[in-house]
Structure 1
Amino acid sequence: MLITLLFLGQFVITYFTNFFIQKGKNLADKEDIEKLTEIVEEVKSKFNNENERLKATLSIIVDKESKSYTQEQQSIIAFYTEINAWIWDKTKISIHEYGYKDVDKLNQKIIDMDQCSNQVNINNAVMDLLVKDKDLTQNAYYLIIETLKLHQFVESKCKTLKKALQGLNAYMPMIDKYDTMSDLMKNHVSKQVKELEASKDEAIKDFYNQRGEIFNILMPKLHEFKNLAKVYLSN
């Protein structure tokens, strides 16, 4: 583009020189003057446009350099925010409160947990790409491993409970018709309900104590990452 502008500028100079030689400064007619004016304005317009484009390009380069550090910071904050949501919200569940009518609600809890886990991994990948501190990214990896252990424990219990609740959801309405059933059907329904209730109790049994043990191992990893992140962000 700059070469083109120089060419056009040279063309204007040449045109003026030939013009004045051939016709003289005071002999240019109106048509020639209009043509010259048009060429000058065109060159001026192209120069202004190119100048604005160059300024915009420089602005983008400067802005990009400024934002690279901001994006690095944001990647750390996004990871820390999401992994806290994973730990404190998505894997936190009052498991004893779920009854056989809450199957959909429990299933949504499992889905939310998995989606949050996926988002943490995405955020970690971005952070790993942008952050230059190996200690910080390595601590993020260890933090994910420990959080995944909590996730797998909670998810396993939720799936066991979900299966039991799905069965109870199918059999419990039959209790209202218990008196109209044959003895064989009564025995079948009664046996299934007892087995499903036992499976439900097994999912709930010691859930909070076991979750607490995993949680207590996880917490130092979370605090370690937080402290490293605070130092890195303050530099």
Structure 2
Amino acid sequence: MRAIDLTERRLIESMEADGWEHVARADGDVVSFVRPASPEILHSVSVDLTEDDYSIQANPALGAVHPETSRLNARFLGRSDRPGAATAMVGAALQDLMPAGSSPLLPITRWGVVSADDIDGAVNALQADVADYGQPFLRPLQTLDDCIGHLQRTDRYYAQDQHLATALALQDRVPEALQVLEQFAAQAADHPPFFIQRGRLFVRSFLEHFGIDPTAVRFALGS
């Protein structure tokens, strides 16, 4: 068995023993786990395993998933809502949650694997860091309101604007949702054509789903 397969198997065993559920994904080298934080929110850990001629690198990320928001966003973008495809509403790379001054090479030096003898130590270190540095990030994210508040307080990228707009609309906060979409549309104008087309698809699907008259919005959807 390849070292990367052994690493994945050991990681799954270790995380499941700690109460995380392994979720199969279409992108095979991303090993994903979830566990309920509340009736509304799932916490997730995804580990992107990449292999080169010298080592296996592990890049973990943590997130808070609101399943209905994720399902609708996938639909608005024309994607199927398949198992394991749910995207986090709020997320962070574990590397960014580590103490100040931590090496930028942690995916190699701490969580990475050079030989089969390294697997247990790397997996144990990753799991410990999820508990020590990832959980304090996830712990406050227990409800949809928590996730909305987090996104409203922080700088967002386009996918988070989509999540935030959908979440606000689900709470019948449509004027706030449209303000977010207006910001999203303004940012989309500076991106390549494919991005703009996806943005238009999202906005149009969003408006149709929530029964909002397109003529009532203050921003251009384009042709």
TM-score past 0.5 threshold: no
> TM (normalized to structure 2)?
0.23
- Structure showing greater radius of gyration is 1
- Name whichever structure is richer in strand by fraction: 2
Structure showing greater relative contact order (alpha-carbon pairs closer than 8 Å, 6 or more residues apart): 1
More helix by share: 1
